[in-house]
Amino acid sequence: MLTIDSLTVRLGHRVVIDALSAGFEPGRIELVLGHNGAGKSTLLRAIAGLLRPSGGGVLLDGVDIARRTPSDVARAGVVLVPQGRGIFADLTVAENIRLGMWNTRRLKRGTAQEERARLDEARELFPVLGQLWNTRAGSLSGGQQQQVAIARAFLANPRVLLLDEPSVGLSPKLAELVLSTVASLRRDDRTIVLVEQNVHQALAVADTVAIMRAGVMERHGLAPADIARQDLTTVF
C-alpha cells in the first residue's frame, strides 16, 4: 500500500503539491486525472524520490521513503516511467531492456535464473519488441519506444509502478496498445499509478480514478465507469 500523507513539494517559490493526501492500493491501476499544471508529474517525481518534499511523507507499507535517494526508493521497489520515454536511442531494444535487468541485478532483487525467466516473460508480454530485439531503439515508432520504456520498468519487478502519460503523442490505436500493455502488468502485489491525458482510453483500463487540482487530490476512489458517463469538462 502506497500512502501519501500531507505531502508538500515546492518548486522555486511555488507550492506545487499542497499537503496532498491519498492512498494507492496494490492489485489496481489507479488513474490520476487533472488539468495541465495540476501537479501530476511533480507528484510522481516526488514519490520516486526525484524531488525532496518540504513536508509530509510517502509511506510504502507504513515505511516513510520520502527523503530517501532515488536509488534507495528504486531499491524499495518504486519505479517511474517518465513522460517522454527516456530510452537510449543509440542502443538496441535488447540493450535498453537489459538496463532494467542491470538494475534488477544491482538491486539484488533476483537470482540469475529468475532474471532470465523475467526476460522471457518480457518478450512474451511485449511480442513486438521480441521481433525488434536487435534494432536501434531510436529507429522505432513512438509506440514501440514507449513499450521499450515500460518493458524496462517491468524488468525491475516493481512493487509500485508510476507511469507518466505513457500514451502521449501516440495515435489512438498505438495508445490503446500501450495502455493494454499497462493493464497486463497488473498484479495482486503491485500498485500501478497511471497519469494520463488520454482520458477515455485510460478509463477503460483503470480500476479507480483520482482527480488532482492545483496540488491537492480533490477526489479519489472514484469508479471509472461513473467518470466515463460524465461530461469530462465538469469532472476536472
Ligand X SMILES: Nc1ncnc2c1ncn2[C@@H]1O[C@H](COP(=O)(O)OP(=O)(O)OP(=O)(O)O)[C@@H](O)[C@H]1O
Residues that bind ligand X (CB under 6 A): 11-12, 14, 16, 34, 36-42
User: Rounded to the nearest whole angstrom, what is the least distance from the CB of residue 158 to ligand X in the complex?
Assistant: 20
Which one, 36 or 113, has the nearer CB to ligand X?
36
The rounded distance, in Å, linking the Cα atoms of 105 and 111 is 8
The rounded distance, in Å, linking the Cα atoms of 146 and 93 is 11
Which one, 42 or 104, has the nearer CB to ligand X?
42
Neighbours of 81 (CB within 10 A): 25
User: Rounded to the nearest whole angstrom, what is the least distance from the CB of residue 43 to ligand X in the complex?
Assistant: 7
Buried b (16+ CB within 10 A) or exposed e, 193-221: bbbbebbebbbebbbbbbbbeebbbeebe
Which one, 37 or 172, has the nearer CB to ligand X?
37
Buried b (16+ CB within 10 A) or exposed e, 131-148: ebeeeebeebebbbbbbb
> Residue 229 has which C-alpha cell?
458517463
User: Rounded to the nearest whole angstrom, what is the least distance from the CB of residue 209 to ligand X in the complex?
Assistant: 15
User: Rounded to the nearest whole angstrom, what is the least distance from the CB of residue 84 to ligand X in the complex?
Assistant: 10
Which one, 42 or 147, has the nearer CB to ligand X?
42
